[in-house]
Structure 1
Amino acid sequence: MDVYMSSKQQPQSLGEAPRTPCSWLEAEKKGALQKDGTEGPPGDSSKIKLSLQSHQRFVPTNYASYTQENYLYAGKKIVIQESIESYGAVVWPGATALCQYLEEHTEDLNLQDTKILEIGAGPGLVSIVASILGAQVTATDLPDVLGNLQYNLVTNTLKCAAHLPDVKELVWGEDLEHNFPKSTFYYDYILASDVVYHHYFLDKLLTTMVYFCQPGTVLLWANKFRFSTDYEFLDKFKQVFDTTLLAEFPESSVKLFKGILKWD
């Protein structure tokens, strides 16, 4: 979930992570070394090495408290560092619903080697699950979220995903062509969960969704519907996307939609 509330960033590592800024990434790299001196899974060492080298090293925001929450998807135990001090550092119901759908429909979606962009990735659970299922994932959010997001992505995918997820800053509706030129960036899937809630950036969110959808792109959007404005956004969404309700989760009031951009 993108968070449109600024929070002070302090360059300190958190929890049980090493105190040297970003040294957790170095620790993970060392932890991935095999006996033969290569990195990552056998046969894929050069790919993961290049991915690590190309990663920006974002520093996690220094919130007063973090918790370690455990999830199980795609046959893997996933440990997410969360903090209730930021909307963008918490796993919301739409994320768990989308993860459940991804793991239960692997044959239909065929995520292996597909290119995925997640809008408002938050602490990264959805991007982690998509990566474990074989996708090449770019996880995006606002700057103050990226440190914790990258920490969770690397620690949960380094040894069990063919493609290490990338992390990029994305402010909805701003500098899209400059930062993600369509001539260079194409995505098979756009993923979004609980990005629609009570904030003032819904029009920019819709603009961003439309921008990233090119011919052949499938948008999967899971959301807990809380307010009348959520349904107003859904009405606008249906005006520009051919929309299919894929699943409902009554216990959490989450609906999952597939959107295909309408082309004139």
Structure 2
Amino acid sequence: MDLCLNSTQQPQHLGQAPKCPGGWLEAEEEGAAPEDGTGGPPGDPQETESSLQSLLKFVPTDYASYTQEHYRFAGKSIVMQESIESFGAVVWPGATVLCQYLEEHTEELNLQDAKVLEIGAGPGLVSIVASILGAQVTATDLPDVLGNLQYNLLKNTLKCTAHLPEVKELVWGEDLEENFPKSTFYYNYVLASDVVYHHYFLDKLLSTMVHLSQPGTVVLWANKFRFSSDYEFLDKFKQVFDTTLLAEYPESSVKLFKGILKWD
């Protein structure tokens, strides 16, 4: 079995936060390392400790029901904790398309040690796959999503990846320079899947994508096109990003775009 950690181990009560970097983290670490021996190196101890601390900051939302959904990417079985009670706790079609693209184009994208940020990471499947493929990942979303996100990341990347992913709060369009200053944060890739749907924050989403893009940054955005507002966002996206359609899946209405910020 090539799951990074024992998928049967669950926190006794998801609403209870660990009091220190122990709790259910220690219980998870007692699970065996990957049996196929393909786990990545532990990395720098200071980086590992910092990443573990970042993964333990958030308390999973105490939804009435969670399900365990199974995926397989990058040669790994991935078990995701999901809940239909929240848009941010479900893997949407764009995420699986983006994972497939990352898996099939790993060498072309040069993901090993690449700095990657995911916008609207939700339960975290895309961030997990990028981490398994060797990237240094920062997974972001709204505060109420982060507990389940960190749980899934820890469950599926601890002891299997060269870099443990980081979890950070990101509210689109708010405090961007304060929380992600351009002088400090640089990303080779900004990933986004199914972040565009019928909501009122599309302009803030676009401004966030722009802020996180610097020379050399590539935005990979996969989306199931459902509403006219999705196409309106695409038009605005094309105005500020040089845009390439990388893949299209008519059966699921998912399109995958590559964007590079236009520079005057």
TM-score norm. by structure 1 comes to: 0.88
> Which residue does 2:17 correspond to in 1?
21
**C-alpha contact (below 8 Å) 1:141/1:171 kept by paired residues:** yes
C-alpha distance in 1, partners of 2:32/2:49?
Answer: 10
1:167 match: 167
Separation in 2, partners of 1:159, 1:262: 39
Give 1:73-112 correspondences, 5 Å limit: 73-112=73-112
Map of 2:230 onto structure 1: 230
Determine if contact 1:32/1:159 at 8 Å carries over to the other structure.
no
State the match for 1:220 in structure 2. Answer: 220
Cα separation, 2, equivalents of 1:16 and 1:43: 23
Matches within 5 A, 1:116-195: 116-195=116-195
Deviations 1:219-251 (A, max 9, x none): 000000001110010000000000000001122
Counterpart of 1:9?
A: none
Give the number of equivalent residue pairs. 245
CA displacement at 1:151 relative to structure 2: 0.1
Point out where structure 2 has 5 or more consecutive residues left out of the alignment: 1-8
C-alpha distance in structure 2 between counterparts of 1:230 and 1:105, whole Å: 26
SS at match of 1:256: strand
In structure 1, the residue matched to 2:57 is 57
Structure 1 residues 43 and 191: CA distance shift in structure 2, 3 A: closer
Q: Secondary structure at the match of 1:230?
A: helix
CA distance in 2, matches of 1:256, 1:115: 20
Specify the code of the residue in structure 1 equivalent to 2:63.
Answer: Y
Equivalent residue, structure 1, for 2:199:
199
Q: Does structure 2 conserve the Cα–Cα contact (< 8 Å) formed by 1:113 and 1:134? A: yes
Query: Normalising by structure 2, what TM-score?
Result: 0.88
Q: Cα distance 1:239–1:43, how it changes in 2: closer, same or farther (>3 A)?
A: closer
Distance in 2 of aligned mates of 1:211 and 1:60: 29
The percent of aligned pairs where both chains have the same amino acid is 80
Does 2:249 align with 1:249? yes
Distance 2:42 2:71 in 1: 28
Distance 2:151 2:199 in 1: 27
Aligned residue in 1 for 2:6: none
Preserved contact between residue 32 and residue 158 of structure 1 (Cα < 8 Å): no
| CA distance in structure 1 between the aligned counterparts of 2:82 and 2:102, rounded to whole angstroms | 22
Instruction: Give 4+ residue runs of structure 1 displaced > 4 Å after superposition.
Output: 40-43
Counterparts in 2 of 1:33 and 1:132: CA distance versus 1, 3 Å = closer
Local SS of the residue matching 2:243: strand
**Structure 1 residue ranges without an equivalent (≥5):** 1-14, 35-39
Which residue does the alignment assign to 1:8? none
Moved more, 41-50 or 177-186: 41-50
Using a 3 Å threshold, how does the CA distance of structure 1 residues 50 and 31 change in structure 2: closer, same or farther?
A: farther
Work out the CA distance in 2 between the residues paired with 1:33 and 1:112. Answer: 21
* CA shift for structure 1 position 53: 3.6
